[in-house]
Chain A
Amino acid sequence: MARVILLIALCYATLAHAHKPSDSYITLTVENEHIAGQWDIALRDLDYAIGLDANNDGSITWGELRAKHSEIAAYALPHLQISSSGKNCASQVQAHLVDQHSDGVYAIMRFSVECPTPPQALEVNYSLFAELDPQHKGLLNLQYQGSTRTAIFGVDQPTQRFELTQLNPWRQFLDFITEGVWHIWKGFDHILFLLALLLPAVLSRSAGRWSAVADFRGAFWNVLKIVTAFTVAHSITLSLAALSIIELPSRLVETTIAASIIVGAANNIYPVIHNRLWMVAFAFGLIHGFGFASVLADLHLPQNTLLRSLVGFNVGVELGQLAIVALFLPLAYWLRGTQLYQRYILVAGSLAIAIVATIWMAERLFEFKVLPV
């Protein structure tokens, strides 16, 4: 009867576990015959397998982990066999780091894999902790020419095969151009900012009054300067962010973008800067570049074709922008002398833009949602 009592506790299985079950995370990036790998393994799991807590005080220090680095590599790497066309590839550890995951600290191994020939297909065999914890899983993220595939390994699925088909680089370039165009069209905040700056471009201001520019050439140059400055600025920050030189929290970026629209629109109502709007476009273009970058990050830029994708995305953004200008400029030029344009479209339009942007800013700052976009 004793056993009955003992196992009562086991009958409540319907509640979520306190901890995540054991997983390791593998990223393989295939570039010709070289494969760059990163493997994240939980310290708790390594401790169970090979013992990390040398002084047995219940906590693992960096010193204790560091002393075990070669042992970890020797233990783990044979449990991850990678082969290409039936020939084994050789793995070698490059660096040991650590990282914080949602359920604790993980040991990070960066390693390189060399295959005898550029792989047409990869076969991966995963058996880490298979003897110790049959419920352990290995989660693979395989990156090849900009596409990402994921796979789950476990005792029931230790070996999986991945075909590596060549992607057409032009096709990929075009894909990123399309993404760029879509982003500027769907990203109402960029359009509104540009519009706020372009509205006064067909006018000139003197003695506190707006008047229509004399000829199309003047309007065209104003627009060209603004669009170019915006483009140059956001290209700079987009590249910096895409190359991971600078990274900003997206809430900060998004809030500041909303603020930039308010400033741009307010400047049309109470003009402070009107001859040098391109400078405003440049200054705030820096922020908008970070906004573009977060989209690009969501697209998972392939490292080996980073530059190509970056250029493609940027070209797409420019094309999208040009399309907006091509719609705006003739219309604005045609209406520029009218009361309708100078009073209502410019002032009331800017006011509307400022109101929308203010709501956006509040939404992003305090994390709530009012507007549908």
Chain B
Amino acid sequence: MLESRRVIIPHMFSPPKPISDQSNAADLAMSIPWILRFSIAFLTLAVSVSVIAAPFIPTDDAQVLERLRTKAADPALLELRQLRSRLADNPNDLQRATQLAQRYIEYGRAEGDPRYYGYAQAALKPWWNLSNPPASALLLRATLRQARHDFNGALADLSAILKSNPDDAQAWLTQALLQQVQADYPAAKKSCLNLLRLAPELISTSCISLVSSLSGQAEKSYQLLHRVYLQNAQASADQRLWVLTLLAEMAVRLGHDQAAEQHFKQALALGMRDVYLMAAYSDFLLDQGKAQEVVTLLQDETRADALLLRLALAEKILGKKTLAGHVDELRARFAASAARADSVHQREEARYTLHLLEQPKPALLLAEKNWGVQHEPDDARILLEAAVAAGDIKAAQPVLEWMSHNNVEDKRLSRFKKVAL
């Protein structure tokens, strides 16, 4: 479309040749062709650019319409297919069903594709609507409810599990992290303490450090977790990925930028694809003024909304030409999610609205709604930013209260707090 605009502008600006005012006849003779030429050119152009996106019938059988995966053969998908057909033989087999659901959730999480959460729910169908399902099904139901931001539903499931089995480490951990998202730090800490007797040291320390670092003991928690991490070099790759991401985020909040950079790089070096990690690292780079590095990291990651958002933010700073297309893409995705009445994306949508659309008031509304659901430092930050940009300091009050009530230490938030006060 840009091309066509360049075509028409010369028509608009080529001034008609100066014509002597004395001669009306000459005036007419010269001006009519100009107008006619213009009209014809305009209509021709109008017809030539009238091809817009609409349903179509491809002409070539070999035309590729959709790529389902990056690799031709994905062993994980193959395994999922086998598990699925095994379950189809006996849909009421709890062990098969939970195994498949768990694999679906892991795959969906790695790919960032919520379809797999739906497939997981389908595998659990015989138990999904029971009032008292077996613990293994209940745990997965809690996880899926959490993914849909039904935090209270998830917490109810977890407390049902823990009531019948106080030794379910996974349930304690999931519950702790949920309580952390809701900023209920005392309850989260209690949940974490149960892990001391049920889970490996690295897991329980991670849980406790995460919660303490948000409630007044940021430096001590970071040092503790770092020490325990170094003592547990034999931990599995996904444990290390989790702990390194936690360490990086704690270091960011403390303003230990060099350490944060190091933890992020160590986590990335594990070579496990992780959308959350890439998003957190990109945010860190953006704060460091390293937008170009974000573009390098994310230029092929346009499928994930969270990453596309960071890419667009970096492109905006750098004044890249690709920005407009990416903003349009994000707009379409948020519109699609609004059409299905989804609110899972409010944090991202608030950032998009504030920084890319530059509309502080609608951004503030989104950030406030998001704060009503979750209370993590990133949620606090977008609410502060939007409140300051909209000149509505009162809207920042809930975040300021959260910070002072819990002694939250976060260098990025303190900066905004000063502006807000």
Please tell me which one of the listed residues B54, B64, B170 contacts residue A61 in the complex, with CB atoms under 8 A apart. B64
The yes or no answer to A139 lying at the interface (CB within 8 A) is yes
A-B residue pairs in contact (CB < 8 Å), sample of 18 = A1-B200, A4-B198, A7-B139, A9-B109, A9-B110, A18-B112, A20-B333, A22-B118, A62-B63, A97-B55, A102-B333, A104-B66, A134-B118, A152-B341, A259-B13, A272-B27, A282-B35, A283-B42
How does the 8 Å CB contact mask read for B64-77 relative to A, with 1 for contact and 0 for none? Answer: 11111111111000
75-110 of chain A: CB within 8 A of chain B: 95-105, 108
In the bound complex, CA of A20 to CA of B339 (Å): 11
Please tell me which one of the listed residues B72, B174, B236 contacts residue A5 in the complex, with CB atoms under 8 A apart. B236
Specify which chain A residues have a CB less than 8 angstroms from the CB of B374 in the assembled complex. Answer: 14
Please tell me which one of the listed residues B22, B68, B345, B348 contacts residue A60 in the complex, with CB atoms under 8 A apart. B68
The yes or no answer to B28 lying at the interface (CB within 8 A) is yes
Decide if A252 touches B55 in the complex (CB within 8 Å): no
Specify which chain B residues have a CB less than 8 angstroms from the CB of A133 in the assembled complex. Answer: 115, 118-119, 121-122
The yes or no answer to A12 lying at the interface (CB within 8 A) is yes
The yes or no answer to B58 lying at the interface (CB within 8 A) is yes
Specify which chain B residues have a CB less than 8 angstroms from the CB of A16 in the assembled complex. Answer: 304-306, 309, 344-345, 347-348
Counted as pairs of residues, one from A and one from B, with CB atoms less than 8 Å apart, the total is 285
Decide if A283 touches B72 in the complex (CB within 8 Å): no
Decide if A8 touches B238 in the complex (CB within 8 Å): yes
181-234 of chain B: CB within 8 A of chain A: 181, 198-200, 203
Specify which chain A residues have a CB less than 8 angstroms from the CB of B174 in the assembled complex. Answer: 7, 10-11
- Choose the segment among B142-150, B290-298, B313-321, B399-407 that binds chain A (4+ C-beta atoms closer than 8 Å): B142-150
Interface size bracket, A side: 35 or more
The yes or no answer to B394 lying at the interface (CB within 8 A) is no
How does the 8 Å CB contact mask read for B98-118 relative to A, with 1 for contact and 0 for none? Answer: 000010011001111111011
In the bound complex, CA of A43 to CA of B121 (Å): 21
The yes or no answer to B16 lying at the interface (CB within 8 A) is yes
Residue of B nearest to A60 (CB): B66
The yes or no answer to A21 lying at the interface (CB within 8 A) is yes
Decide if A18 touches B57 in the complex (CB within 8 Å): no
**Closest approach, in angstroms, between the C-beta of A250 and any C-beta of chain B?**
10
The yes or no answer to B60 lying at the interface (CB within 8 A) is yes
Decide if A21 touches B114 in the complex (CB within 8 Å): yes
How does the 8 Å CB contact mask read for A284-326 relative to B, with 1 for contact and 0 for none? Answer: 0011001000000000000000000000000000000000000
Decide if B111 touches A18 in the complex (CB within 8 Å): yes
Interface size bracket, B side: 35 or more
**Taking each of A11, A131, A152, which has the highest tally of chain B beta carbons within 10 Å of its own beta carbon?**
A11
Specify which chain A residues have a CB less than 8 angstroms from the CB of B86 in the assembled complex. Answer: none
Decide if A61 touches B61 in the complex (CB within 8 Å): yes
In the bound complex, CA of A66 to CA of B63 (Å): 11
Query: With A21-B114, A22-B118 as given contacts, are A263 and B242 in contact (CB-CB < 8 Å)?
Result: no
Decide if B43 touches A286 in the complex (CB within 8 Å): yes
The yes or no answer to B248 lying at the interface (CB within 8 A) is no
In the bound complex, CA of A22 to CA of B108 (Å): 13
Query: With A98-B56, A251-B5 as given contacts, are A21 and B115 in contact (CB-CB < 8 Å)?
Result: yes
